[in-house]
Amino acid sequence: MAIRADEGREPEGKGAQTRRAILEAAIVRFGRDGYRATSVAHIARDAGVGPTLAYAYFPNKEALFLAAVDEDAARVMGEGLVGSMGWNDVADWRQLLLVTLIGALDDHPLARRLLAGLEPEVTARVLEIPALAELRKVCAERLAADQLSGRVRPDIDPVTMANGVVAVVLSLLMSVVQLGADTVAHYGSDVVALFEAALEAPPTLRARGTGPSAG
């Protein structure tokens, strides 16, 4: 399962192709040089378009930066979801989500840059990008499905808990990028235990399930 899939898309028109080229160039340039050192003119040149054409698609540099971050984050999270959401074990999908997200960061310098705290001027706005909202939605849907199967406690709100899961995962990703995976790995089992205690249904409830057919 990926946040954004290309399957079934109509071929892009010229305008969409130009916007895509600008966005791809922005992801590379912002990831390499950062927000402050990058200009829209740099990105337009990298994309092979005129210096002012980028403004026809993005009103200013901040809007282009946020769009680039959202696109790059969506790809990272899509890779994470592909590696985790297909698993049936409720403990596994959260742990695998974190592991696959960490692995995906190596190929996404812009996402790493944000998690490393190198763009403090825009970090707060990044927390509300559509890619993160979609990740929260996917996690809430998974938790709701696990409630029906009896794996997750029936007395929790899936949306609220999904928000918390994503917040914890983001905090761990930031720690991994800033402190190193070896430092954070020491606490991995503790995080798993925290998720289990907060979310998993007691064995008696799990045995009989909580769905419509449960007795």
| Per-residue pLDDT tens over the stretch 128-160 | 888 889 889 988 998 998 899 888 999 999 999
pLDDT band (50, 70, 90) for residue 91:
low
Q: Which amino acid is at 120?
A: P
d(CA 35, CA 69): 11
d(CA 120, CA 154): 39
Q: Which amino acid is at 131?
A: A
Report the CATH fold assignment for 11-59.
Answer: Arc Repressor Mutant, subunit A (1.10.10)
Rounded to the nearest 10 degrees, the angle between the axes of helix 61-84 and helix 130-149 is 20
pLDDT of residue 84: 58
Mean pLDDT of 34-49: 96
Return residue ranges of the chain for CATH 1.10.10.60.
11-59
Mean pLDDT of 10-15: 71
pLDDT band (50, 70, 90) for residue 8:
very low
Specify the residue for token string 């899961």: 165
The sign one gets for the Cα dihedral 52, 29, 1, 126 is: negative
Q: Taking a C-beta distance cutoff of 8 angstroms, is the pair 152, 199 a contact?
A: yes
Q: Which amino acid is at 162?
A: A
Q: Residue 2: pLDDT above 60?
A: no
Task: State pLDDT tens for residues 153-203.
Answer: 999 999 999 999 889 888 888 998 998 878 777 777 788 888 888 888 877
Angstrom distances, CA of residue 81 to CA of 88, 143, 172: 13, 14, 16
CATH architecture observed for domain 62-208 = Orthogonal Bundle (1.10)
Task: For the chain, give the percent of residues with pLDDT over 90.
Answer: 40
Q: Residue 92: pLDDT above 80?
A: no
Angstrom distances, CA of residue 208 to CA of 133, 150, 201: 33, 7, 11
Tallying the residues shown for the chain, one arrives at 215
3-state class (DSSP) for residue 127: coil
Q: Residue 99: pLDDT above 90?
A: no
- Whole-model pTM: value is 0.77
- List phi, psi (to 5°) of 200: -75, 140
